Amino acid sequence: MLRDLYNKIIKLSESKQALPTLAAVSFAESSFFPIPPDVILVPMCLAQPQKARLFALVCTIASVIGGILGYFIGAFLYDTVGHWLISLYGYGDSVEAFRAAYAEWGSWIILIKGMTPIPYKIVTIASGFAGYDFFTFVLLSLITRGMRFFLVAELLRYFGEPVREFIEKRLTLVLTSFLVAIVGGFFIAKYAF
């Protein structure tokens, strides 16, 4: 099953649907979707390393636009949609602590959490809820999301074939490790504040 999914993503990277799919997942992940775009970005970069930078650019732009949606959810719809999303991911009790941390460390929170497996949607919604400066939020999001996605793309462009061989030989191990990182990111975000 995992091999079929991996092969479908590899084929997707060569289709006309590659960029729209990557953009949709990147957009959704920044505001409400639990799975990061890396599950599509990595196989696409491995299948077409010459397009890795384009894939990273699409991820960055779509992620920041999705982050803007998350920000507005936090700023204007927190009592309904925002609180529901935060609670869905198990962070309902942590938001006030997160909001207080923004008063002192807002820029660093956005920069650091945007590069980690900690769910970025929590950062985007909390940024809006905390009333963090919108333009600074967008600028920092561009920096941190761009750094993250371009770092992945460049590493895969440089080390592509050995990485592809490793992933294809140990697909279950790699995906399990990836899932552990995602769950660990949720766990860290829940108990860090």
98-136 pLDDT, tens per residue? 767 777 777 877 777 766 666 788 888 888 988 889 999
**pLDDT score of 83:** 76
Which residues touch 124 (CB under 8 Å, ≥6 apart)?
Answer: 30, 31, 66, 67, 68, 69, 70, 71, 73, 74, 141
pLDDT confidence tier of residue 57, bands split at 50, 70 and 90: very high
Q: What percent of the chain has pLDDT over 90?
A: 27
pLDDT digits (tens, 9 = 90+) for 129-186: 888 899 999 999 999 999 989 988 988 888 777 666 666 566 566 666 655 665 565 5
Distances (CA, A) of 88 to 48, 139, 140, 185: 36, 28, 26, 15
- Which range has highest mean pLDDT (64-78, 84-98, 153-167)? 64-78
**pLDDT score of 70:** 93
Q: Tell me the domain boundaries of the chain.
A: 50-192
Both structure tokens of 181: 């990182």
Its pTM stands at 0.78
